[in-house]
Amino acid sequence: MNTALPGTPLHVGLFATCPVDLLRPSVGFATAKLLEQAGCRVSVPPQSCCGQVAFNNGDPDATRKLAWRIVKDFEPFDYIVLPSGSCSGMIRLHYPALFRDDPRFDRVNRFCSKVYELTTFLAEVIDYRPAAPNCNLAQRNITYHDSCAGLRELNIRDQPRQLLKQCAGVDVTEMRDTEACCGFGGTFCVKFPAVSNRMVADKVDNARDAGADLLLGGDLSCLLNIAGKIQRQQNESPQLSKVQVRHVAEVLAGDLDAPAIGEGAEAQIPHE
């Protein structure tokens, strides 16, 4: 798969995704750090949305417009890497379908084959093995939420677990129903709040039942949902066990200075 000339580092276009770009830049920086540790040259061209919001809300024309923009802006890179299974799946699987009857199809298809979710890219494309772990979280009880698109569209399951073992000395404690959706679902969570709430409450219960004090995942949007539920519950019932939420890239890169998702300056607790 290595398309670069021998001796030149792979040039990777980092597509941060909207949630990371707007809400949690630390995940973007952690992603870049991992890619650079893996010997890649990283660039971040101007970027916005992969089009998934429009796509899932019945607007294929608007989606194609955004998609074509991304194809053009990112196709010079050897690879395009995203810290998200959902947006990677959108590009890899749905872009070709969107351009099926379009003269631009071949170019889109070629582009899509260079697009990877972060943990898949690290584990399968460049076989990333850090010289020394970036951090050691062996004393934490860590569980992992398999976000739906990554799991079912891209078969992301073993990659983050394998990397966590190699990069942070962590064995994941599996929670029940790890294949079940957290209830985020894009606009679903605001269109059907009661149903979404029930789903995320189940997810949080399962994490607590597994004894987790840190929940990781590969998609920030799901993590915002889960963290938001945990914090609302802890606010209402302070006796509940504390579960922190982070993107897997932050742990892999050892970037743990930023407070966990949804925690403010006041909530910083010494743990790492």
Token output for 20: 């990371």
Q: State which residue, 67 or 172, has the beta carbon closest to another protein.
A: 67
* Shortest distance, position 153 Cβ to another protein, whole Å: 7
Q: State which residue, 107 or 232, has the beta carbon closest to another protein.
A: 232
Q: State which residue, 16 or 164, has the beta carbon closest to another protein.
A: 16
How far is it, in rounded angstroms, from Cα 115 to Cα 15? 10
Q: Note whether 26 and 255 are within 8 A (CB).
A: yes
Other C-beta atoms lying within 10 Å of the C-beta of residue 127:
8
Q: State which residue, 47 or 136, has the beta carbon closest to another protein.
A: 47
Q: What is the DSSP string of 6-51?
A: TTSPPEEEE---HHHHHH-HHHHHHHHHHHHHTT-EEE--S----S
Nearest to 156 by CA among 63, 57, 222: 222
How far is it, in rounded angstroms, from Cα 78 to Cα 64? 22
Q: State which residue, 84 or 171, has the beta carbon closest to another protein.
A: 84
* Shortest distance, position 137 Cβ to another protein, whole Å: 19
- The length of the chain is 272
Q: State which residue, 62 or 135, has the beta carbon closest to another protein.
A: 62
* Shortest distance, position 117 Cβ to another protein, whole Å: 15
Nearest to 84 by CA among 165, 14, 10: 14
* Shortest distance, position 195 Cβ to another protein, whole Å: 5
* Shortest distance, position 105 Cβ to another protein, whole Å: 18
Nearest to 81 by CA among 134, 125, 135: 125
Q: Note whether 214 and 137 are within 8 A (CB).
A: yes
Other C-beta atoms lying within 10 Å of the C-beta of residue 198:
12
Q: State which residue, 9 or 228, has the beta carbon closest to another protein.
A: 228
* Shortest distance, position 121 Cβ to another protein, whole Å: 16
Give burial (CB, 10 Å; 0-12/13-18/19+) of 186.
middle
Residue written as token pair 């910083």: 268
Token output for 126: 């460049």
* Shortest distance, position 196 Cβ to another protein, whole Å: 8
